[in-house]
Amino acid sequence: IIARRIDGRGRNELVFTGPNGGRLNTSNVRRTVDWEGVKTLLDRPDLRIHDLRQTLATLLLDAGAAVNDVKEILGHSSVQVTELYTRAREDSALRANSALDRLMGERLDEDVH
């Protein structure tokens, strides 16, 4: 779906738009999407539309996107807002430790052979 939506679009063109072609916002998503049905289907009565933005930001940062890029995508005023807004940094120490373990494991394997 996303590949079809972005085909032929310019760098600054919106991929998903509101009913009149503008930016999506909570109001027009609620009018268009059966949000209560989505929450029921996912068994997540606590899910908010705003949570989708946080999830996107977290996934982008976890995938290696630069915080400045995520800031721009979300339209935040500062990097600090983006970092506070996301959950990506909660487990950064664990991810960093895992990366070091992999690196050191590879080095130890090289030294053994």
Q: Is the pLDDT of residue 63 over 90?
A: no
CA atoms within 13 A on the CB side of 103: 6
Which position has the token pair 């029921």? 40
Cα 43 to Cα 36: distance, rounded to the nearest angstrom: 10
Query: pLDDT, tens digit, for every residue of 70-110?
Result: 999 888 899 888 888 776 556 666 777 788 888 887 655 55
Query: pLDDT, tens digit, for every residue of 22-54?
Result: 888 878 887 888 889 999 999 999 998 888 888
Would 93 be classed as within a structural domain?
no
Containing structural domain, residue 32: 1-46
Residue 82 CA to its chain's centroid (Å): 11
Cα 32 to Cα 22: distance, rounded to the nearest angstrom: 14
Would 7 be classed as within a structural domain?
yes
Q: Is the pLDDT of residue 7 over 60?
A: yes
Would 52 be classed as within a structural domain?
no
- Provide CB contacts within 8 A for 9, sequence distance 6+: 15
For 3-30, what is the mean pLDDT? 84
Cα 68 to Cα 81: distance, rounded to the nearest angstrom: 11
Would 61 be classed as within a structural domain?
no
Domains held by the chain: number: 1
Would 31 be classed as within a structural domain?
yes
Would 1 be classed as within a structural domain?
yes
Which position has the token pair 């600054």? 12
Structure tokens at 67: 């915080």
